[in-house]
Amino acid sequence: MRLIQLTQITIGAVIFLLSGCGYEVTPSTTSFSGPVVPSTAVTDTFSAIQKNIIQPSCLKCHNGPDSIADLSTYDAVMAYVSPSNPNTSDFYTLIDSGSMPKRAAKLSQEAINSVKSWILKGALNN
């Protein structure tokens, strides 16, 4: 009976420890200590950025004209983007610094690089 209890406790502990292994860990210079959005192959097109970054990570707070900093459409996003210049684009600088998203997991470096590349290529609606 004691052996069965020890086995159940051991299995439970292993499952508990392994359940936290679902996120990519990337170095960060910010104080954010939450999980990181797992790296996915995000291409540097607006449609991919909208689907893989903006929809899951931004639209909970930035959805529609009544929200602060609407990101629900291409035209709305472009209010925060300087085509070909990511360093003067609020959309890029806020995610690159880790300031955004505030209420979602930090974006992977791959996702941040996709946004930068999209902006460098002129921030086309593609």
| 34 part of a folded domain | no
SS3 at position 84: coil
Task: Count how many domains the chain has.
Answer: 1
CB atoms within 10 A of CB 13: 10
What's the mean pLDDT in 49-75? 94
Structural domain including 86 reads 43-126
Statement: residue 25 has pLDDT above 60: no
| 35 part of a folded domain | no
* Residue range 10-21, pLDDT digits in tens: 444 334 333 333
**Contacts (Cβ under 8 Å, ≥6 apart) of 51:** none
| 9 part of a folded domain | no
DSSP assignment of 14-81 equals HHHHHTT--S-----SSS--S-BPPP----SSHHHHIIIIIHHHTTTTS-STTSTT--SSHHHHHTT-
